[in-house]
Structure formats: C-alpha cells, structure tokens
Amino acid sequence: MQVFVDNIQTVSNDAEETSAVANNVLQSANRMAEDSGKLRHAVESFISEVKAI
C-alpha cells in the first residue's frame, strides 16, 4: 500500500512541476508575441520612412 501512496505523491509532484513549467512557457510566449508586435511596428515605420525618401 505504501508503494501506491508514494507513486500517487510522485505523480502529484510531477504534475505540479509540469504546471509551473507550462506557465513559464506561456508567459514567455506572451512576451514573445508582444515583442514581435513591437518589432513589426518598428520595421513598418522604418520602411515607411525609407519609402518617403
């Protein structure tokens, strides 16, 4: 019975760790999306300026 309890605890701990890592990945993806939007805007502005010359 103890082996069963230990296995359940291990699965629970691993699930918590997986959740934390997934949250970190989500935060990184959100930052990357935000940064790519800023970069797109900067590039579009630059191209507009070059076209105006």
**Tens digits of per-residue pLDDT, 4-23?**
899 999 999 999 999 999 99
Cα separation, 5 vs 2, in Å, equals 5
Q: Give me the helices (H) in 1-53, please.
A: 2-52
Cα separation, 12 vs 9, in Å, equals 5
pLDDT score for 23: 98
pLDDT band at 42 (very low <50, low <70, confident <90, very high): very high
Residue bearing tokens 């890592």: 21
Question: To 10 degrees, the CA torsion angle through 7, 11, 17, 23?
Answer: -170
pLDDT score for 34: 98
How many domains is the chain partitioned into structurally? 1
pLDDT score for 18: 98
pLDDT score for 48: 96
Give the residue numbers spanning the domain of 51: 1-53
Cα separation, 36 vs 51, in Å, equals 22
pLDDT score for 10: 97
